[in-house]
Amino acid sequence: MLISTPLWSIAKDNLLARLNQQYQQTLIDNHMGVMRQLAQHKLTLDLLQQRNQNPLPLTKILEIDKNWSNNQFWHNQVTNNPITEKFAKLVQAKLYGFSELMLVDTAGALVAAYPLTSDFWQGDEEKFIVAMNKQMFSVTSANWDHSTQRYSFFVTVPIQQDNLSLGALIAGLAVTPQYMQSLSKASQD
């Protein structure tokens, strides 16, 4: 009797898949406390409340997004505020694996970000849509991120106050190239 796939190969692949899940879960666990604190920080809530008092219409969001690479006014709005200073410290800290942090309003438009993202509107992206529709944190698959030039996956935490949705905190968590190679290998086998 011939077996086309040796049992040891299947066991190895299952182990690899479990280790990858464990790695991702460990990263999430190590960052979720900081993310929850940031999501409920007074600066975060104040910025989101200000935006919600003067929400951007979707047509304006799309216009800003279309011209994002040349829009210095909005770059400054997103990067020059007190919460962005906290984002920068966390992204630069060796203790954490944040590749980027973004604060978005209920439409998915940036309120704050570090580093500056490649687009203004996050509302059309899975990382935002899934979390906001379910009103619970969500995690994307790991992929190459053009903004940060790193492999990462995104964790999104919706932000509410008094049962009212204010927006979301989105964190890119950097992963190693070895992790990406093992994911690729596991999906091919």
Q: Give the whole-angstrom CA distance, residue 106 versus residue 158.
A: 9
Domain boundaries, the chain: 7-188
Sign, CA torsion 129/159/147/62: positive
CATH entry 3.30.450.20 includes domain 7-188: yes
Q: How does residue 26 score in pLDDT terms, banded at 50, 70 and 90?
A: confident
Q: Give the whole-angstrom CA distance, residue 5 versus residue 35.
A: 43
What digits encode the pLDDT tens for the residues 89-125? 999 998 888 999 999 999 999 999 999 999 999 999 9
State the average pLDDT for the chain.
85
Residue among 111, 115, 70 at smallest CA distance from 88: 115
Phi, psi of 169 (to 5 degrees): -105, 125
pTM: 0.82
- In the block, residue with structure tokens 């770059």: 75
